[in-house]
Amino acid sequence: MGFFDWYVSCIKDHYVDFEGRARRQEYWMFTLVNILAAIVVGVIGAIIHLRMLGSLYSLAVLLPGIAVTVRRLHDTDRSGWWILIGLIPLIGTIWLLVLLVLEGTQGSNQYGPDPKQAG
């Protein structure tokens, strides 16, 4: 898959799909493209004096962002509820980041087959 294909896949195919697993590459490519898109949308919004444009973009990608994070946690054999650890100031954010960087479970786990083997 190409650079933007991961992003498009999360938006188009897995918009609110909280089931299954997402490999590290899927999560981090989505995150990278999402950050770049947010910057571009923010700059365009500032140029055309429509600052609400960035907020609308953020709202549009909120659910896919949560969904891919939950699927990424599933890949490490953790419940999607672990996403809430990020609400703890500083320590929780660091802990969630570490969980998102960890390699996924090899082979099948309770959340489905290994996405590396599937694709």
What is the DSSP track for 50-100? -THHHHHHHHHTHHHHHHHHHHHHHHTT--GGGGGGGGSTTHHHHHHHHHH
- pTM for the model stands at 0.91
List, run by run, the mean pLDDT of 10-residue segments along the chain (119 residues): 81 88 93 95 93 92 96 95 96 96 92 82
Distance separating alpha carbons of residues 45 and 34, to the nearest angstrom: 16
pLDDT at 119: 57
For residue 44, what is the enclosing H or E element?
helix 24-47
- Position 117 scores a pLDDT of 82
Give the model's pLDDT for residue 12.
87
| Residues whose CB falls within 8 Å of the CB of residue 102, separated by 6 or more in sequence, listed in order | 76
**What residue type is assigned to position 64 of the chain?**
P
Position 2 scores a pLDDT of 76
Whole-angstrom Cα Rg for the chain: 15
The packing angle between helices 3-12 and 24-47, to 10°, is: 90
Q: From CA 21, how far away is CA 104, in angstroms rounded?
A: 9
